[in-house]
Amino acid sequence: MTTSAELADRTWRGWMTYVAEASELLAGTLDPGGIVALTAQIVVPRLADWCVAYTTESTSPVYVWHTDEDQSDALKELLAAEGRPSEGPPVPWGNTDLACTIPLVARGRTLGAICVGRAVKFPPDHYELAEEIVRRAALSLDNALLYAEQKATSLALQRSLLPPELPDLPGFDLAVGYRPAGEGAEVGGDFYDVFSCPPGPDGELRWRFAIGDVCGTGPEAAAVTGLARHALRILGGEGMPLPDVVERLNQLIIDEGSRGKLLTLLHGEITESGALTLVCAGHPPPLILAPDGSITDPATPQPLLGVIDDIEFTADVLALKPGHVLFSCTDGVTERRDGDVLLGDGDGLERLLASCAGLSAGAVAAAVERAVDGFSSEPGHDDMAIVVLRANR
Amino acid sequence: MTGYVGPVGLALQTTRTDDRAVVTARGSIDLHSSESLRGCLVELVDSGHTEITLDLTAVDFCDSSGLNVLVRAYKHARAVNAVLTVTGAYGRVENVLRTTGLDRFLIRQS
């Protein structure tokens, strides 16, 4: 025989499980719209016959959920005519229903409201449970909105760290590739830039390019990226020689003290006649692909920035001949991993590039991006940047 | 002799003799394991060892967070007139030390 105490205990356990499962469902999504829909589906039919959700911005419901789908439209009309039911315990509303409004409040912020209704009878414990579910939904919704905000901020910051547009380089073919890591909620440390410089004493047009990788991610890394990009543009605009610019930037990063981060940087200059100057400061070496598929490594490795002051950097000077391609990337490419194997292992990047002989800059960049994607079935967790420059004449 | 295994894939073993210490690392130095290496090197500097050698013979990978730890430990040691050097780097690790120019600071030039 079952006593009434045992029965009550069983019922209570049932509700506990229900609330726990609801919490888990609500905590599992970061999509604000999904949370609203989920809340309605949790509440209906266990606690109520219908559930309607409003956001603070909307006067009409953003979501309507009824046990009897055919009645959804009638319910919307009724809400429009009668207005929302009052807050607090359910009271008669409409023709036959008992209903109430439960505000979505989290951390002192009102995010919207949930209205619930039942035909004829609305037990007090059902109302209390609905309140509990809405409280948890509001917290999840608040988290989701904060996450969306952070993601938008990160994207804006990320965009500000890349050049708004690329200059036109007559006689050259330029392509860039950039991919942030993860889902975009965090700013990466990779960047690139290409900009024109005042003509040199010989009157030739000149452009400078940079590709870099700040150690770490997030706003602290982004601050160093911003410092680097602006320093390169300003000092380049004043015509400062390449090695001096890199030295100056190294000093600027060290002057940041504990806020400074390590930065690997390839900084280069190309003139309209194809004279190429490179300073490779701790960055994965750039490669030059000749039309016959042979690969050369033109830059001398020099220390990365932010370690020690008083480093004198030197420039490697060469010519980018017609049909030759200068390829540079960040370690997101070379350290792309499949189990224990990296893309860059055993001259992997060199072999990949050799297969790109004769392609345009854009096609080379695309081929490398495809190779990175195809290297492993696992999603990559590092950001990556690619800059490709081909001399056409 | 003390042994310490990091949370993921890096084992560190330290041998101390007077003011010298040799840390033998085994595994991969990456985002997950670099913190244990940092803790180990900083502790050796702070406990007064003036000659610290990090043996990377059995390390197959070192990413940028690992380089960051090496640089910080190198600077931390230098600030108190201690010396941190790296030995045994080969393959990918030797490559990344050369590419980043850290070999100039971390590998004793013979």
Q: Which tens digits make up the pLDDT trace of A188-198?
A: 789 999 999 99
Subunit contact A282:B100, Cβ cutoff 8 A? yes
Chain A residues inside the 8 Å CB shell of B59: none
* Higher pLDDT pick, A321 / A14: A321
What is the pTM for the complete model shown? Answer: 0.78
Q: Would the pLDDT of B1 be above 50?
A: no
Q: Give the residues across from A63 on adjacent strands.
A: A53
How do residues A201-243 score in pLDDT, each as one tens digit? 888 999 999 999 998 878 888 889 999 999 999 999 999 999 9
Cis omega (within 30 of 0) for bond into A291 = no
Closest approach of chain B CAs to the CA of A384, in angstroms? 13
CB B46 within 8 A of CB B79: no
Closest CA in chain A for residue B103? A303
What's the confidence (pLDDT) of residue A150?
86
Which residues 6+ apart lie within 8 Å of A108 measured at CB? Answer: none
Closest approach of chain B CAs to the CA of A167, in angstroms? 29
Unique residue bearing structure tokens 């990175």: A372
pLDDT, averaged across chain A: 91
- How far is Cα A275 from Cα A312, in angstroms, rounded to an integer? 22
What's the confidence (pLDDT) of residue A392?
93
Query: What is the complex's ipTM, to 2 decimals?
Result: 0.82
Subunit contact B102:A303, Cβ cutoff 8 A? yes
**What values do phi and psi take at A355, rounded to 5?**
-80, -5
Residue A49 DSSP one-character state: S
Burial class (CB in 10 A: 0-12, 13-18, 19+), A193: buried
Residue A374 DSSP one-character state: H
Chain B residues inside the 8 Å CB shell of A306: 71
What's the confidence (pLDDT) of residue A182?
65
